[in-house]
């Protein structure tokens, strides 16, 4: 199907290594997609869901040892170890290719190798980057058809000599001991073997759009970030856009699809969803930052999603959706913890075992029906709040950048940076409690700069420098903020209702960008005055509001020491400006 000799040669090399029985090109047509769905249902790779209730929807279970990204098996393979930095696992390119090739060799015998040409960003736009993923998983193909622009139109722009990222994926035996997710930025290549789970295998997503994307972005002077983008339409009709970086499973999808609460709906606010996970942002000819969502699908966390928390997500996943690792009900619909309605009396859990709501394990702990990191894959166009500008070649102008994480204590509901440089410091020092989106100890606080810890493909000291330089190149850089929806009281209950009510905070943020809302200067940044946040219709006591906005100096002094240790890990690649910001924060806390 291709006129591109280099692409053809690479496919032949990969085929020689993996030895598939046949090679099939993905053309992006509905007919081919339908045939692949039917084939996957026939082999049991997919289960067809109730087509009356969930038209076009399918269900897939990954292996129980393959349900989240495996960061400890993810490597950056640069010639010089230093360039991967302290936040990444490193392997030399030669060792990476050698070790992965041993696993790939012959692993596609009896299988088909699919060739998926795809574009991140609107095809033909200045943002667009082309990749080609080779995979032996139909599940991956069907997900990619939702997640990115695929097929013939991409091959056309690639022409006979266009640049593309080489993405090779093989399931092999899905054994964690024989699993590697390798990035070769110097070769524009990604190799992933031994997994069938989302972020490990949909190579357009974290692997290309972020780990390699961050390389492209630094070389070419733009930003590739783990951020949602949303537009807030004010009562006047003006739409302003924010980009927000929260670590995995910390609320990006939810915020991106926010539905205004009663009190603010009356004011006439409306939300437009641009993206829920990844933002690519460039400085346009007007000297301002403009961003796109390079993807076309949502790969969202299912548990906790219901008509109250995220009605737009519920409307989005009613059709043409692939559900992964949720609970299967007898009537071939799906359920997860925190879904609408009571749990079903019985069903088949994410492992494929019979399940009842009162099921407990050997230790007497309740057995969940869905995995905590169960996901839905759905086209963005099905979201009722989807922006009308998702195909716009310039993207949308970004007024504010928001950082956030899960902090039970410390960080107040919202605060604003004093400058771009202070904002970069806030991003570089942010931390969050670990979630189920990656393997590791849940709840442990870890530093996750710009929510990019697992996704920045090069030395993070250099990444911070790049952020600082971007600020200098912009005529009017976005204002920078930090939010925390997860502060708790002594009983461990969330102080803030979150979800739709987060719009109250966004309203303050955008008012600040226009120089309108009131604020008080505090040691950590500008804080809202208690009545500058619109709390109409919310029943929060003054004590709770005070609790949400409090800055505890002794806790922050401990934070300063902890950030100092974190910064020390970047050695002399940490820009001086960030050390200066830390010292300034320290001084402000002491006065």
In the region spanning residues 418 to 457, those forming contacts with ligand SPV, defined by CB under 6 A, are: 437
Q: Pick the closer one to ligand GTP by CB: 417 or 437.
A: 437
Burial of 521: CB neighbours in 10 Å, binned 0-12, 13-18, 19+: exposed
Annotation marks residue 207 as catalytic: no
Q: For the window 190-209, what string marks contact with ligand SPV as x by the rule CB under 6 A? A: --------xx-----xx---
Q: Residue length, the chain? A: 591
Residue linked to tokens 């809302």: 517
CA 69/CA 83 separation, integer angstroms: 23
Residue count at the site for ligand GTP (CB under 6 A)? Answer: 22
Q: Pick the closer one to ligand SPV by CB: 114 or 299.
A: 299
CA 460/CA 467 separation, integer angstroms: 10
Nearest approach in angstroms of CB 256 to ligand GTP is 7
Position among 66, 133, 277, 295 found at the interface with Mn ion (CB under 5 A):
277
Q: For the window 471-500, what string marks contact with ligand GTP as x by the rule CB under 6 A? A: --------------xx-------x---xx-
Task: Report if residue 248 touches ligand SPV, rule: CB under 6 A.
Answer: yes
CA 228/CA 256 separation, integer angstroms: 6
Residue count at the site for Mn ion (CB under 5 A)? Answer: 2
Phi, psi of 419 (to 5 degrees): -160, 175
Binding partner of 97, given ligand SPV, Mn ion, ligand GTP, none, CB within 5-8 angstroms per partner class: none
CA 98/CA 483 separation, integer angstroms: 44
CA 297/CA 142 separation, integer angstroms: 11
CA 228/CA 504 separation, integer angstroms: 18
Q: Pick the closer one to ligand GTP by CB: 304 or 343.
A: 304
Burial of 363: CB neighbours in 10 Å, binned 0-12, 13-18, 19+: exposed
In the region spanning residues 60 to 79, those forming contacts with ligand SPV, defined by CB under 6 A, are: 69
Nearest approach in angstroms of CB 311 to ligand GTP is 13
Position among 299, 323, 464, 526 found at the interface with ligand SPV (CB under 6 A):
299
CA 42/CA 36 separation, integer angstroms: 10
Task: Report if residue 216 touches ligand GTP, rule: CB under 6 A.
Answer: no
Sequence-ordered list of residues with C-beta below 8 angstroms from that of 571, at least 6 positions apart, any chain: 86, 461
Q: What sign has the CA pseudo-torsion 88, 91, 93, 99?
A: negative
Closest residue to Mn ion, based on beta-carbon distance: 277
CA 491/CA 469 separation, integer angstroms: 44
In the region spanning residues 238 to 257, those forming contacts with ligand GTP, defined by CB under 6 A, are: 246, 248-254
Nearest approach in angstroms of CB 456 to Mn ion is 13
Closest by CA to 589, choosing from 528, 527, 525, is 525
Catalytic-labelled residue, pool 57, 250, 383, 513 = 250
Alpha helices in 59-111 (DSSP H): 93-104
Nearest approach in angstroms of CB 20 to ligand GTP is 31
Alpha helices in 279-419 (DSSP H): 311-316
**Hey, what are 203's tokens?**
């190579």
Q: Pick the closer one to ligand SPV by CB: 171 or 205.
A: 205
Q: For the window 278-307, what string marks contact with ligand GTP as x by the rule CB under 6 A? A: ----------------------xx-xx---
Nearest approach in angstroms of CB 157 to ligand GTP is 29
Do 37 and 55 contact (CB within 8 A), yes or no?
A: no
Residue numbers at the binding site for ligand SPV (CB under 6 A): 69, 198-199, 205-206, 248, 277, 299, 437
Catalytic sites, residue numbers: 250
Residue numbers at the binding site for ligand GTP (CB under 6 A): 246, 248-254, 276-277, 300-301, 303-304, 309, 437, 485-486, 494, 498-499, 502
């Amino acid at each position: 199907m291709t006129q591109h000799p280099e692409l053809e040669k690479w496919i032949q090399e990969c085929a020689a290594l993996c030895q598939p029985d046949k090679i099939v090109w993905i053309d992006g047509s509905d007919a081919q997609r339908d045939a692949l769905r039917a084939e996957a249902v026939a082999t049991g790779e997919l289960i067809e869901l109730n087509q009356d209730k969930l038209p076009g929807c399918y269900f897939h279970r990954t292996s129980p040892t393959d349900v989240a990204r495996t960061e400890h098996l993810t490597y950056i393979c640069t010639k010089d170890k230093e360039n991967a930095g302290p936040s990444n696992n490193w392997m030399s390119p030669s060792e990476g290719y050698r070790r992965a090739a041993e696993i790939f060799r012959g692993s596609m015998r009896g299988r088909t190798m699919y060739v998926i040409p795809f574009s991140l960003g609107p095809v033909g736009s200045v943002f667009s980057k082309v990749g080609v993923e080779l995979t032996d998983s139909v599940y991956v193909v069907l997900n990619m058809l939702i997640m990115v622009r695929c097929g013939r139109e991409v091959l056309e722009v690639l022409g006979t000599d266009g640049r593309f990222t080489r993405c090779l994926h093989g399931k092999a035996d899905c054994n964690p001991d024989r699993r590697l997710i390798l990035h070769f930025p110097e070769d524009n290549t990604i190799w992933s073997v031994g997994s069938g789970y989302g972020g490990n295998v949909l190579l357009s997503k974290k692997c290309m759009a972020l780990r390699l994307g961050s390389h492209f972005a630094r070389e070419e002077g733009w930003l590739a970030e783990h951020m949602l983008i949303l537009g807030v339409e004010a009562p006047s009709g003006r739409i302003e856009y924010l980009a927000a970086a929260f670590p995995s499973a910390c609320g990006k999808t939810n915020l991106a699809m926010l539905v205004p609460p009663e009190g603010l709906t009356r004011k006439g606010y409306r939300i437009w969803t641009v993206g829920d996970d990844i933002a690519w942002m460039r400085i346009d000819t007007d000297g301002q930052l403009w961003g796109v969502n390079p993807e076309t699908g949502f790969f969202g966390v299912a548990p906790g999603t219901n008509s109250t928390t995220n009605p737009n997500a519920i409307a989005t996943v009613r059709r043409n959706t692939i559900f992964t690792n949720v609970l299967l009900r007898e009537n071939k619909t799906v359920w997860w913890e925190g879904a609408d309605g009571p749990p079903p009396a019985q069903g088949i859990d994410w492992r494929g075992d019979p399940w009842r709501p009162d099921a407990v394990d050997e230790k007497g702990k309740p057995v969940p029906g869905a995995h905590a990191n169960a996901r839905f894959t759905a086209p963005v166009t099905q979201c009722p709040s989807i922006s009308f500008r998702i195909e716009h070649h310039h993207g949308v102008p970004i007024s504010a950048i928001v950082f956030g994480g899960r902090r039970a204590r410390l960080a107040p509901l919202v605060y604003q940076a004093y400058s771009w440089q202070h904002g970069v410091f806030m991003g570089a020092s942010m931390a969050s409690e670990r979630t189920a989106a990656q393997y590791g100890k849940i709840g442990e606080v870890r530093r996750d700069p710009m929510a990019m810890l697992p996704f920045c493909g090069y030395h993070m000291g250099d990444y911070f420098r790049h952020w600082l330089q971007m600020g200098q190149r912009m005529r009017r850089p976005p204002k920078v903020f930090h939010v925390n929806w997860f502060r708790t009281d002594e009983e461990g209950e969330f102080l803030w209702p979150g979800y739709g009510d987060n719009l109250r905070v966004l309203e303050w943020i955008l008012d600040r960008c226009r120089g309108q809302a009131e604020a008080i200067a505090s040691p950590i940044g500008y804080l809202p005055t208690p009545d500058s946040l619109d709390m109409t219709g919310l029943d929060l006591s003054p004590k709770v509001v005070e609790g949400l906005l409090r800055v505890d100096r002794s806790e922050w002094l401990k934070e300063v020491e902890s950030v100092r240790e974190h910064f020390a890990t970047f050695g002399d690649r940490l820009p001086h400006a960030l050390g200066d910001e830390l010292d300034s924060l320290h001084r402000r806390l002491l006065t």
